[in-house]
Structure 1
Amino acid sequence: MKGLAVGDLFIPKERMAELFGNEGVREFVTEILMVEFECKDRDDVRRKIRNMEANGPDSEPAPSDLKRFIGDADILAVHLCPVSRSILERANKLRVVCTARGGVDNIDMAALNERLIPVINTPHHNTNAVTEYVVGLMIAETRNIARSHFALRNGTWRERYPNTEFIPELSGSKIGILGFGQIGRAVAKKLKPFDVEILVYDPYVNKETVQESGYRSVDLGTLLRESDIVSLHVRLTDSTRGMIGEEELRTMKPSSYIINTARAGLIDLNALVRALKENWISGAAIDVYEEEPAPLHHPLFTLDNVTVTNHRAGDTRNAYWNAPVLMGKQLAMLLRGQKPRFVVNPEVLE
């Protein structure tokens, strides 16, 4: 079997090719081909991804070497590179596609489904990166780290902050985890050494599972009323869009904080801005926006009781470079005739 690794700005092709050296994979792969998907810089990456999200993988040109090599490849491994129908029409031997991302906006899933070709993805590649960042935002917002830094850089030794009279420590706090999926569980685990009480709301996870992990399973209202910090880890769907609105924010304690590294649409922006201006809650830390890059006049950017960052939570070298290893474990299962845990289109394996 031949493996084709396509690298890019974040995962060099040599690193991507390490997928084929994983135990359980290298026994099957006799030749490795490598291609680079050229991106000038991060701005170029963002433009290309946004274009493919809006217009599909055919909207971005694939590397010429990919067109040349794809006909011989049994396994294709990509990260950002477009995998369009026109490319797949050349892939006469292709048996599986592996992507170092959770999403598949750069891959023509319809074309692969027609040919019953499975797609292995890695939605867990940045779990640790995000969880570390969430804890960092909790501390940065509650302890005024960003505000103090900004003041000093601008020549001010600042002594008073929006929460000066009640600056908290994490120790002894109640942390509400809204969504107990992979990242929500990892955040809860990461917080254990801080001696906090974890409250969990997730209607799709049974109470016993939460309790066995050492946490309290509660309804949404209880979580909002009792938590000192609420952290969102929920998928954005029609049912979750705007799930934190005026009613929910008014339910929270005036001394509480809300953290969002998940999706912007989970929180009603207008309600959040009002909550921060009128001190329904003490503060917020926000890493995601409905429009990205966010406009410079974004209403959150003028408020003193919010820490804002530009979608950085999952952005570490480890998150990118570990993805080929994670993909390799899933691919090894497939090659041994087992069903991988992370397959975008599991129905093609039935």
Structure 2
Amino acid sequence: MTHVLSSGDHFILAETLSASLSEELHAAGAAPATYTEVTLDWPLTPFGPVEGVDEASGDVDELIASLRGAEVALTQMAPFTARVFDACPELRFIGVCRGGPVNVDLEAATRAGVVVSFAPARNAQAAAEFAVGLMLAAMRKIAVADGELKNGQWRGDYYTYAQTGREISGNTIGLVGYGAIGRIVAKILQAFGARVLAYDPYANVEAAAAEGVSVLPLEDVLRASNVISIHARLTPETHHLLNAENLALLPHGAVLVNSARGGLLDYAPLPALLESGALGALALDVYDEEPPGPTWPLFSAPNVVMTPHLAGATRQTAERAARVIAHEAALFLAGERPLYVANPAVLDAAPTSAS
């Protein structure tokens, strides 16, 4: 009987991981597994680098102890470092409930013959809806006016023409990134009546056009859009993809939304752009430093909406991620090839079955 470590946290619960795999095994007519369940302290304690892996939570020695006898591990944040693979020779499969297994040392996993799978687009719907929510909050001063009213300010001047917001309907909105999240955002915005442009060097231009979205060079998207929403992946090539030079191309008073990754945007020029009115509003869920320090300049800048990296925080995201990764584990245990393998060389070199 296969033994499984369900290393959950306070978002994707250990019992949800176990139940999801149990359901998958039952549906496949496979033998049930046994489980060890542990709970990491994320998000109550921030994640961070752990012994060479990124965005991890928990102690390596505690993880090694929890893995005793386990062939399969399901997690979101546990730190699977080289030391873990050296200490746990029975381990054969790790399922990571994230868009990428950044908390796993893939080289060490591959050397150890451990298959690492992940859950792409698990939070795409949640992130897309949240981005549109930020957009509305910034365009219509929802968050700013809420804070002012709670502090005793009734801003009747918001009804003057100069202070009024903008509607999504009839507006041109540019998406920087047209992957799983960007495509959902586009559909939502089109339902509002927006014209949607996109910049994405990897997008299928013909397919996007069939969906009513024009894919253009970044500079053209920026020049034409009254609202920009960022949905690209952060890579060395996309670091500070939006910066002082190209933000100057935006129409005066444009709204900028970043709910993707902080590193995609150069935050340094933003306070001055807001003060001058070149940027009409800014909505952020991600930051160049998380959390921002107490003297961060954007805290005192006008027309800024901020949330603490919440775009993917829905119950459906947690449940969906657990289901995806449980299905991956069930495929592996059945001797079949999982769909989302981060180190396919392991499968190419050895049988997929954990037995």
Residue in 2 aligned with 1:13? 14
Once the two structures are superposed, the pairs formed by residues 179-218 of structure 1 within 5 Å of their partners are 179-218=177-216
Distance 2:340 2:329 in 1: 10
RMSD between aligned alpha carbons? 2.6
Query: Given that residues 134 and 313 in structure 1 are in contact (C-alpha distance below 8 angstroms), is that contact kept between their aligned partners in structure 2?
Result: yes
How far the C-alpha of 1:63 sits from its partner, in A, is 7.2
Give 1:170 shift: 0.9
Segment drifting more, 122-131 vs 331-340: 331-340
Deviation (angstroms), 1:255: 3.3
The one-letter amino acid paired with 1:341 is L
Q: What are the within-5 Å matches in structure 2 for residues 9-48 of structure 1?
A: 9-23=10-24, 27-39=29-41, 42-44=43-45, 46=46
Distance 2:136 2:29 in 1: 47
Q: Map 1:39-188 to 2 at 5 A.
A: 39=41, 42-44=43-45, 46=46, 49-52=47-50, 60-62=58-60, 64=62, 67=64, 70-161=67-158, 164-188=162-186
**206-215 or 30-39: bigger deviation:** 30-39
Cα distance in 2, alignment partners of residues 269 and 12 from structure 1: 34
Which residue does 1:296 correspond to in 2? 294
CA contact (8 A) 1:71 1:90 kept: no
Give the corresponding residue for 1:341. Answer: 339
Q: 1:273 to 1:217 in 2, by over 3 A?
A: same
Match of 2:324 in 1: 326
Counterparts in 2 of 1:58 and 1:310: CA distance versus 1, 3 Å: closer
- Aligned-pair CA distance for 1:57: 9.4
- String of CA shifts for 1:25-74, please: whole Å, max 9, x gaps: 753443221221342x7442x0xx2142866699952475x545634322
Instruction: For residue 269 of structure 1, give the secondary structure of its aligned residue in structure 2.
Output: coil
**Whole-Å Cα distance in 2 between the matches of residues 261 and 3 of structure 1?**
34
Q: 1:53 & 1:219 partners in 2: Cα distance?
A: 40
Taking a change above 3 Å as real, the CA distance of residues 237 and 38 of structure 1, as seen in their structure-2 partners, is closer
CA distance in 1, matches of 2:142, 2:233: 29
Which stretch of the first structure deviates more once superposed, 333-342 or 152-161? 333-342
Counterpart Cα distance in 2 of 1:129 and 1:58: 22
Q: Secondary structure at the match of 2:94?
A: strand
5+ residue gaps, structure 1: none
- The residue type equivalent to 1:3 in the other structure is V
Identity among equivalent positions (%) equals 32
**1:98-118 Cα deviation digits (max 9, x unpaired):** 011234343332321102221
**Structure 1 residues 212-231: aligned runs within 5 Å:** 212-231=210-229
Determine the C-alpha separation between the residues in 2 that align with 1:110 and 1:163: 59
Alignment equivalent of 1:232, drawn from 230, 244, 261: 230
Letter in 1 for 2:39: F
Give the letter for the 2:38 counterpart. Answer: E
How many residues are treated as equivalent by the alignment? 345
> Counterparts of 2:70 and 2:346 in 1: how far apart (Å)?
19
Aligned mates of 1:281, 1:88 — CA distance in 2: 49
List per-residue Cα deviations over 1:224-282 (Å, max 9, x = no partner).
Answer: 11112111111222322222222322211113211111122222222222221112231
Q: Select between 77-86 and 66-75 the one with higher mean Cα deviation.
A: 66-75
The amino acid across from 1:36 in the alignment is V
Once residues 253 and 56 of structure 2 are traced to their aligned partners in structure 1, the CA distance between those partners, rounded to angstroms, is: 50
Alpha-carbon distance in structure 2 between the residues aligned to 1:92 and 1:84: 13
